[in-house]
Structure 1
Amino acid sequence: MSLLGAIEAGGTKFVVAVADVADPEQVLHRESFPTEDGTRTLEKVITFFDQFTDIAAIGIAAFGPIDVKPNSPTYGYVLDTPKRGWSGFDFLGTMKAWRDIPYYWTTDVNGAGWAEYKTGAAKDVENVVYLTIGTGVGAGIITNGELLTGYSHPEAGHIMMQKHPDDVYEGLCPFHGNRCLEGLTAGPAIEARWGMSAKEIPDDHPAWQMEAFYLAQAAMTFTATLRPDMIVFGGGVPHREVLLPMVRESFAEQMNNYLAVPDLDTYIQPVKNGDNAGILGCFYLAKTLI
């Protein structure tokens, strides 16, 4: 049996898995472990994959920023990051030194977004923005069936935002404070602003209207610049079912009938693959290499 490998490389934990090439949605073996520094974490990754001799390709979806330019001298590296032991780490080179097989190297949000495009909420469209709101904020953008990559991968969590008139929070982002999407809407920003986590905040709390205002503003920006067929929200924060209906309502108010979009219940969707999105995306991206 020929296998596909998946590495979902998160800043908090790593998930590694294998699946049959013929059925990428059927996970055969899977493990997870806390993220340590690059060397120790990759040792655990390699120990897992050492069990399998017939891996045809591996998809890697890594926390960033990472170098995704194939002609760059640091292609495959994790770039400057506050995660200790990872800045300047040659992730892809370490894997190639272990076993020289094809690897698909991309960001964690691209991996999850690709899964939504292949089998999830966006499986019937060709242009999608997958936006994850969790410990951080990022976007995987697919245009005409291809992952968007220019000079580097998108860092859409750091688009500039107009402040909500009632928001006095100073923001979480160490680079942009309260001026960017991540600094205002990520899970840690919610907790710092309101003194409780997104899981703890009641449905009728004003936190949700404020969060919806910012996420709708982001959705409006992506709509105006990219004109996607769909915007899919993933990550821990949108797990709260109260949020997306408010995002749709705020989106309609802020757009003010300027641009036509599909019915908002269709246009702004929750992730369908849940916590499996990253692994599934890795499998499907790896399969493009064989």
Structure 2
Amino acid sequence: MLAGVELGGTKVFVLRARGRIILDREMIPTTTPLDTLGRAVEILKDWDAQEAFAAMGIGSFGPLRLDSHAADFGIMLPTPKPGWAGADIWGTLTAPFDCPAVIDTDVNGAALAELRWGAGAQGPVPSDSLCYITIGTGVGGGFALNGRTLRGAMHPEIGHIRVPRAHGDSFAGSCPFHGDCIEGLVSGPALAKRFGVPGHEIDPNDPRWDHVASDIAHLVSTILLSTSARQVLIGGGVGMGRTGLLDQVREKVVTQLGGYLSHIDADSIDQIVRPPMLGDQAGPLGAVALALDALEGAGIA
């Protein structure tokens, strides 16, 4: 029996699974750390009393300290989420349970799930490396390379990469740290500021979508060139919610790469830059994948 927690900025999924099959799932809103983590622990305690957990996987929004040698391992670093800076995610969720556990970002977990059971597992040759991008309230990116998530002192923060700006695009960006980093250009709040109306009211034919597609394509091209990922999956409310945007991004990626990566062309790009296959299950299954890694690390699997 495995325990999983997917801690998001607006809601939390607490789940238990046997193998990769999710048996039970509870959703709670993300409020304060004390209330949110406390409620999650109570749910887990009830389940653990019924059948003890063999391992736990935690996928959390960031930024998190993921260096296991650091004094603040598993603690939330400075974040725009009010009240969450300094929250002890790891200690609070794992202390009551006597089982191996792994903590990572929610997007790293989603990337791992997609690699093993989703887009990476499809096709004639399973993928060994992919990037999972979510574009919504912010821009996050997770990597599963050679079967493991990418992490070090922290975790990838691709949302704060700067990209070349499209010709004629004068939007200053909305990131409080960097202005026109990719999150400041294409996240949901950035689009509302760029277009001057809430996201659901933006005209799908507005020519400024071409600038947005260019920005996202430059991010994708950077990832393909710097990591050799076989696939880049684009999800989230913005990533999956705009008909035609993904096709624009694909076309621009091929143009931007200029034939330098010979395996990427107009015929192959649809399988390389694509939506996630697991949809909204990628996050919860990511927590399960992390729990399975905890089992393996403990020599149980």
Give TM-score, length-normalised by structure 2: 0.90
**RMSD of the TM alignment (CA)?**
1.5
Gaps of 5+ in 1: none
Question: Alpha-carbon deviation of 1:104?
Answer: 1.1
Instruction: Tell whether the 8 Å contact from 1:115 to 1:284 is kept in structure 2 after alignment.
Output: yes
Question: Alpha-carbon deviation of 1:97?
Answer: 2.3
1:196 counterpart residue number: 197
Count of aligned positions: 284
Q: Aligned match of 1:33 in 28, 32, 46?
A: 28
Cα 1:199–1:115, aligned 2, differ >3 Å: closer, same or farther? farther
Question: Alpha-carbon deviation of 1:190?
Answer: 0.8
Q: Aligned match of 2:43 in 42, 48, 54?
A: 48
Question: Alpha-carbon deviation of 1:241?
Answer: 2.9
More helix by share: 2
2:145 counterpart residue number: 143
* In structure 1, C-alpha distance between the alignment counterparts of 2:8 and 2:223, rounded to whole Å: 25
Instruction: Tell whether the 8 Å contact from 1:110 to 1:139 is kept in structure 2 after alignment.
Output: yes
Q: Aligned match of 2:70 in 26, 51, 72?
A: 72
Instruction: Tell whether the 8 Å contact from 1:122 to 1:232 is kept in structure 2 after alignment.
Output: no
2:299 counterpart residue number: none
* In structure 2, C-alpha distance between the alignment counterparts of 1:199 and 1:125, rounded to whole Å: 35
* In structure 2, C-alpha distance between the alignment counterparts of 1:151 and 1:261, rounded to whole Å: 32
Query: How big is each residue's C-alpha offset from its partner over 1:4-24, in whole Å with a ceiling of 9 and x where there is no partner?
Result: 111111111111111113xx1
Which residue type is aligned with residue 171 of structure 1? G
2:176 counterpart residue number: 174
Query: How big is each residue's C-alpha offset from its partner over 1:77-116, in whole Å with a ceiling of 9 and x where there is no partner?
Result: 1111121221111111112322232221000110111111
1:89 counterpart residue number: 87
Is 1:12 aligned to residue 10 of structure 2?
A: yes
Q: Secondary structure at the match of 2:152?
A: coil
2:97 counterpart residue number: 99
Which residue type is aligned with residue 286 of structure 2? G
Which residue type is aligned with residue 287 of structure 1? L
* In structure 2, C-alpha distance between the alignment counterparts of 1:14 and 1:166, rounded to whole Å: 41
Which residue type is aligned with residue 220 of structure 2? A
Is 1:285 aligned to residue 290 of structure 2?
A: yes
* In structure 1, C-alpha distance between the alignment counterparts of 2:163 and 2:187, rounded to whole Å: 13
Cα 1:28–1:196, aligned 2, differ >3 Å: closer, same or farther? farther
* In structure 1, C-alpha distance between the alignment counterparts of 2:271 and 2:99, rounded to whole Å: 40
* In structure 2, C-alpha distance between the alignment counterparts of 1:199 and 1:19, rounded to whole Å: 36
Question: Alpha-carbon deviation of 1:276?
Answer: 1.0
* In structure 1, C-alpha distance between the alignment counterparts of 2:119 and 2:154, rounded to whole Å: 26
Question: Alpha-carbon deviation of 1:272?
Answer: 0.9
Cα 1:207–1:275, aligned 2, differ >3 Å: closer, same or farther? farther
Which residue type is aligned with residue 128 of structure 1? L
Cα 1:232–1:47, aligned 2, differ >3 Å: closer, same or farther? same
Is 1:153 aligned to residue 155 of structure 2?
A: yes
* In structure 2, C-alpha distance between the alignment counterparts of 1:181 and 1:256, rounded to whole Å: 22
1:227 counterpart residue number: 228
Which residue type is aligned with residue 115 of structure 2? Y
Question: Alpha-carbon deviation of 1:196?
Answer: 3.2
Instruction: Tell whether the 8 Å contact from 2:174 to 2:190 is kept in structure 1 after alignment.
Output: yes
Question: Alpha-carbon deviation of 1:167?
Answer: 2.2
* In structure 2, C-alpha distance between the alignment counterparts of 1:237 and 1:12, rounded to whole Å: 16
Instruction: Tell whether the 8 Å contact from 1:133 to 1:236 is kept in structure 2 after alignment.
Output: yes
Question: Alpha-carbon deviation of 1:261?
Answer: 2.9
* In structure 2, C-alpha distance between the alignment counterparts of 1:233 and 1:82, rounded to whole Å: 23
Output aligned runs, 1:98-117, within 5 Å.
Answer: 98-117=96-115
Instruction: Tell whether the 8 Å contact from 1:261 to 1:267 is kept in structure 2 after alignment.
Output: no
Instruction: Tell whether the 8 Å contact from 1:9 to 1:60 is kept in structure 2 after alignment.
Output: yes
Question: Alpha-carbon deviation of 1:260?
Answer: 1.7
Q: Percent identity?
A: 39
Instruction: Tell whether the 8 Å contact from 1:171 to 1:177 is kept in structure 2 after alignment.
Output: yes
- Mean alpha-carbon deviation: is it higher for 35-44 or for 45-54? 45-54
Give TM-score, length-normalised by structure 1: 0.93
Query: How big is each residue's C-alpha offset from its partner over 1:203-235, in whole Å with a ceiling of 9 and x where there is no partner?
Result: 322243222111110111111111111111111
Which residue type is aligned with residue 47 of structure 2? F
Question: Alpha-carbon deviation of 1:133?
Answer: 0.8
Question: Alpha-carbon deviation of 1:152?
Answer: 2.1
Q: Secondary structure at the match of 2:4?
A: strand
* In structure 2, C-alpha distance between the alignment counterparts of 1:188 and 1:48, rounded to whole Å: 33
